[in-house]
């Protein structure tokens, strides 16, 4: 597309969701009603026993799968993915607060599996968008591989990454494809795909940078990392381009009240619809169990997700709800 004929999701001062996405209905009264309804919500709930593995168990799991393609849940939307000979880190929210300043804003009630400085060597960093619980500047600053890894980010975020000390930064638009690896025929293929969300870190930068999900393909396997997204027809379009997907990692939390979140976050049932539209053989629920962002009970999402996935035709072995720190072979 030329500058005179930009893609439909490009606007003069930012971006918008793909065609067919739920229309934005957020108004000040909706936000104020949400704040009033959630004023007494427990921000530090108790996680179920065993939900978070010990740090030593996390490290042991990584070592046990060192030579295998695998996925490790670090918590929220943060994963270590070993695929195609590369170690990929997604949306590393690994600090205590999802805010610009410690002590303000949503605070973790469960720890990440590992802190940024404790991670094994990382080859590729994927960022889906710039919200504080996905683009965590404190964690990114603490990463040990900033000068050597490749950071793949949506349009508008390269300057932020360069300012944090990253050298190799690639900005991607929707459907941008690239290969990662040292060989001429890169062993890992990554495609940025549209999702239904928004961006912004302050009062005056709404949708100035892009948001996306990612398809990862290597060693004969294909994964989808959804970042944050509401449900929309775009998932059928992604499925038409990439199905079958071996594992779809989809957000299942932060969905109530619906009048506020239906344009940005899926319910557990909608996440299963996404997976089916993607042609996913296995489904993994994420984006819950770390911070309180919404009004639903904090551990309702996995129960609803499991029930919806069973009703949608998935058997239990193909419904992944890992513990924080758990590694599973692909």
Region 295-319 average pLDDT = 97
Give pLDDT tens digits for 104-117: 889 999 999 999 99
**Token pair for 48:** 């179920």
User: Residue 170 belongs to a domain with what CATH number?
Assistant: 3.60.15.10
In a domain, 28, yes or no: no
CA 83/CA 182 separation, integer angstroms: 14
Give the structural domain span for 256: 48-329
In a domain, 112, yes or no: yes
**Token pair for 80:** 């270590």
140 confidence band (pLDDT: 50, 70, 90):
very high
Q: What is the pLDDT of residue 181?
A: 83
**Token pair for 285:** 């629920």
In residues, how long is the chain? 330
29 confidence band (pLDDT: 50, 70, 90):
low
Region 16-38 average pLDDT = 76
Judge contact between 161 and 153, C-beta under 8 A.
yes
In a domain, 150, yes or no: yes
Smallest CA-to-CA distance from 79 within 67, 91, 97 is with 91
CA 106/CA 83 separation, integer angstroms: 32
CA 280/CA 273 separation, integer angstroms: 10
CA end-to-end distance (rounded Å), the chain: 37
In a domain, 64, yes or no: yes
Q: What is the pLDDT of residue 3?
A: 61
The total domain count for the chain is 1
Judge contact between 58 and 232, C-beta under 8 A.
no
In a domain, 264, yes or no: yes
Region 166-191 average pLDDT = 89
Give pLDDT tens digits for 197-220: 999 999 899 999 999 999 999 999
Going by the DSSP 8-state scheme, the letter that residue 23 receives in this structure is: P
Among the listed ranges 2-16, 26-40, 86-100, 138-152, which one has the minimum average pLDDT value? 26-40
Rounded to two decimals, the pTM is 0.95
Cα 35 from chain centroid (whole Å): 25
């Amino acid at each position: 597309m030329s500058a005179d004929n930009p893609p439909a999701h490009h606007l003069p001062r930012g971006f918008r969701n793909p065609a067919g996405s739920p229309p934005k209905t957020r108004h000040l009264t909706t936000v104020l009603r949400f704040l009033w309804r959630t004023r007494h919500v427990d921000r530090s709930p108790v996680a179920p026993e065993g939900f978070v593995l010990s740090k030593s168990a996390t490290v042991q799991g990584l070592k046990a799968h060192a030579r295998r393609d695998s996925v490790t849940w670090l918590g929220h939307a943060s994963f270590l993915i070993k695929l195609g000979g590369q170690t990929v880190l997604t949306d590393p929210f690994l600090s205590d607060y999802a805010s610009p300043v410690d002590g303000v804003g949503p605070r973790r009630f469960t720890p990440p599996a590992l802190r940024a400085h404790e991670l094994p060597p990382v080859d590729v960093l994927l960022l889906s968008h710039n919200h504080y619980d996905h683009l965590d500047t404190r964690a990114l600053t603490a990463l040990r591989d900033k000068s050597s890894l490749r950071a793949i980010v949506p349009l508008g975020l390269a300057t932020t990454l360069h300012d944090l000390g990253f050298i190799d930064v690639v900005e991607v638009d929707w459907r941008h494809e690239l290969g990662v690896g040292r060989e001429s025929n890169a062993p890992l293929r990554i495609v940025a795909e549209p999702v239904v969300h928004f961006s912004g870190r302050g009062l005056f930068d709404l949708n100035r940078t892009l948001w996306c999900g990612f398809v990862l393909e290597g060693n004969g396997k294909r994964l989808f990392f959804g970042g944050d997204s509401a449900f929309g027809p775009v998932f059928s379009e992604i499925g038409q381009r990439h199905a079958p997907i071996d594992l779809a990692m989809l957000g299942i939390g932060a969905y109530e009240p619906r009048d506020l979140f239906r344009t940005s976050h899926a319910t557990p049932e909608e996440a299963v619809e996404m997976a089916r539209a993607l042609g996913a053989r296995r489904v993994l629920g994420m984006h819950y169990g770390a911070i309180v962002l919404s009004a639903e009970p904090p551990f309702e999402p996995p129960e609803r997700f499991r029930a919806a996935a069973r009703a949608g035709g998935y058997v239990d072995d193909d419904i992944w709800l890992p513990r924080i720190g758990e590694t599973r072979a692909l």
